[in-house]
With several copies, the nearest count.
Chain A
Amino acid sequence: MTDRKTMDDQIRRDFPLIYNHPEIAYLDNAATTQKPQMVLDAVRDYYEESNANPLRGLYDLSVRATEVYEDARELTRAFINAASTEEIVFTRNASESLNLVAYSWARTFLKEGDAVLITIMEHHSNLLPWMQAAKAVGAELHYLEVDVTGLITEEMFRAALTENTKLVAMTQISNVMGVQNDVKTFARIAHENGAVFVCDGAQSVPHIPVDVQDLDVDFLAFSGHKMAAPMGIGVLYGKRDLLDRMPPFLYGGEMIEYVRRDSATYAELPHKFEAGTVNAGGAAGLAAAIQYYQTLGFDVICEREEHLSRYAMEKLSAIPYIHILGAADGAAHHGIFTFTIDGVHPHDIAAILDEDGVDIRAGHHCAQPLMKHLKTLSTTRASFAFYNTENEVDRLAESLAAVRAKMGYK
């Protein structure tokens, strides 16, 4: 136990906001994470030592800026084991990554009568882009339903596919139930069915090792800000032959080869998809975040998060009147616990916990169809990162245990 506490301290010292604010138990990590010192330093260092518009300048500073930016791409490639940096497109966030695929791939290659399959547990960012793209081309949007544990079996998946299913979009880890989908198996089955497989990695890439070649997904989207990087930088991985055949999405500077008055040809991958001045400062931050992850290692990260998950499940499920969505096994939650307390509105729970310095989220978690499917309007969610501690779980549990009394229940 002392080992764990020592490690807690070491890690927390890396995160200024956490370290300087012991009064806060930050448990809204599925929404966004805090940033380690070295990430903030890397961003600053970029602006103080290497800032220029990357990719075009012939002078030293611009060469340095380009190096920072392209080194970040290489680090990102290695982090998810993509075959080539050409397959790594920097975007603003996971939402933009998914929209890019929906505009550029889906609206180009889907036809009337085709079907898009998503699951009922998708985040709005992995739902609305497909709903709109399907509408635009006259395709159907199919939902794969799940039960309260959130589990999708191979059978369920096969049953949800039709011969018209040309695109499957699925999250690897649910931001509501924390359940992990067997993306590798589903991608294989989708491919056998002739469908392209889009994986929403917003909640998985920050928490488990993700290897796009092993999973064999066609696209993977994730956000830097949910994995210790600054806001404003996200990633789209796409298989090269797919990206190659897709038209550009955003048009402008940096993504062209030749521009004539009435036509244009476009730059090679990945630049074709990066219009306008790139976010090199954000990329520098993402690179540092990846290095932070690599130094700590997924062994440690997963062990800590799994431990916290088990511990939280134990503590939370002991509270009367609480109902936790998803699996009974804590380890299956990947740090995400969404729950209700009888008789207390989730917004009130979050507000009361705030008074104790415990930061959790309340609402629909950008998953309204899932909420409706689970027959609840709104819920409360605590979500952990590797820098959280048992002590914070205790604070959460104590606060929650007092909520009903504070609301006037005897």
Chain B
Amino acid sequence: MAHNTFYNEILTDHNMNPAHKYELPDANMTLEGVNPSCGDDIILQLKVVDGVIEDGAYTGDGCAISQASADIMLDLIIGKPVEEAKRLSEIFLRMIKGKITEEEKEELEEAGILEDIAHMPARVKCAVLGWHTMEELLAEE
């Protein structure tokens, strides 16, 4: 049951040097997501034009998992159509429940490193915070 490598370089790097952690001036969609039980907090901003996520960013406070997961998510979905982002998010959330195939995992690219969170139930909420926030935001369309 050792998860010796959970805080690996990809994760810590996204946390320490996030690519998308700033305010997005030309965002046209914004939503705050909060984990009441642990205080994680993310404000997700997207710029969606003609059904495509042209840009995205986030600000917030929280553990490395919640912050890095949001950053990794933005890496994955920026430039993709909304429908594709929703599809990937669905795969990601299924991964957390331990129910995806190897091919699906590959589609998630770096987000695949969060697979083992399934063994850390207390952290699942952290890992999915950004993704749930995005789903809610895109559902608003």
A58 located at the interface, meaning its Cβ lies under 8 Å from any Cβ of chain B in the complex = yes
Return the contact of B36 from the options A57, A63, A258 (Cβ within 8 A). Answer: A258
B37 engages A407 (CB within 8 Å): no
The CA-CA distance from A60 to B1 in the complex, in Å, is 8
* Chain B residues positioned under 8 Å from A265 (CB to CB): 36
A401 located at the interface, meaning its Cβ lies under 8 Å from any Cβ of chain B in the complex = no
Task: Give A351-386 interface residues, CB cut-off 8 Å to B.
Answer: 351-352, 355, 363-364, 377-378
* Chain B residues positioned under 8 Å from A329 (CB to CB): none
* Chain A residues positioned under 8 Å from B13 (CB to CB): 408
Contact mask for chain A residues 229-262; partner B; CB cutoff 8 A; 1 contact, 0 none: 0000000000000000000000000000110000
Contact mask for chain A residues 59-90; partner B; CB cutoff 8 A; 1 contact, 0 none: 01011001100000000000000000000000
Majority secondary structure, A binding face:
mixed
Task: Give B13-51 interface residues, CB cut-off 8 Å to A.
Answer: 13, 15-16, 36-39
A407 engages B38 (CB within 8 Å): no
A345 engages B64 (CB within 8 Å): yes
The CA-CA distance from A378 to B38 in the complex, in Å, is 8
Give the interface size class of chain A: 20 to 34
The CA-CA distance from A65 to B119 in the complex, in Å, is 13
B12 engages A377 (CB within 8 Å): no
A355 engages B4 (CB within 8 Å): yes
A347 located at the interface, meaning its Cβ lies under 8 Å from any Cβ of chain B in the complex = yes
Return the contact of A407 from the options B1, B15, B61, B120 (Cβ within 8 A). Answer: B15
A348 located at the interface, meaning its Cβ lies under 8 Å from any Cβ of chain B in the complex = yes
Return the contact of B2 from the options A62, A355, A407 (Cβ within 8 A). Answer: A355
**Contact stretch, chosen from B84-92, B107-115, B121-129:** B121-129
Q: How many residues of B contact A (CB 8 A)?
A: 26
Nearest Cβ in chain B — how far from A408, in angstroms? Answer: 4
Nearest Cβ in chain B — how far from A269, in angstroms? Answer: 14
The CA-CA distance from A57 to B6 in the complex, in Å, is 17
Contacts A363-B38, A378-B38, A406-B12 given; indicate if A347 touches B63 (C-beta within 8 A). yes
B126 engages A406 (CB within 8 Å): no
A348 engages B38 (CB within 8 Å): no
B interface with A by C-beta (< 8 Å): 1-4, 6-7, 9, 12-13, 15-16, 36-39, 61-65, 119-123, 126
Going nearest first, the 4 A-B pairs with the smallest beta carbon separation are A408-B12, A345-B63, A347-B63, A408-B16
User: Can you report 6 residue pairs joining A to B where beta carbons are below 8 Å apart?
Assistant: A62-B122, A347-B63, A351-B120, A363-B38, A377-B39, A407-B16
13 new A-B contacts at CB < 8 Å, known A347-B63, A378-B38: A58-B122, A58-B123, A63-B120, A257-B36, A258-B36, A265-B36, A346-B63, A347-B126, A355-B6, A377-B61, A406-B7, A408-B12, A408-B16
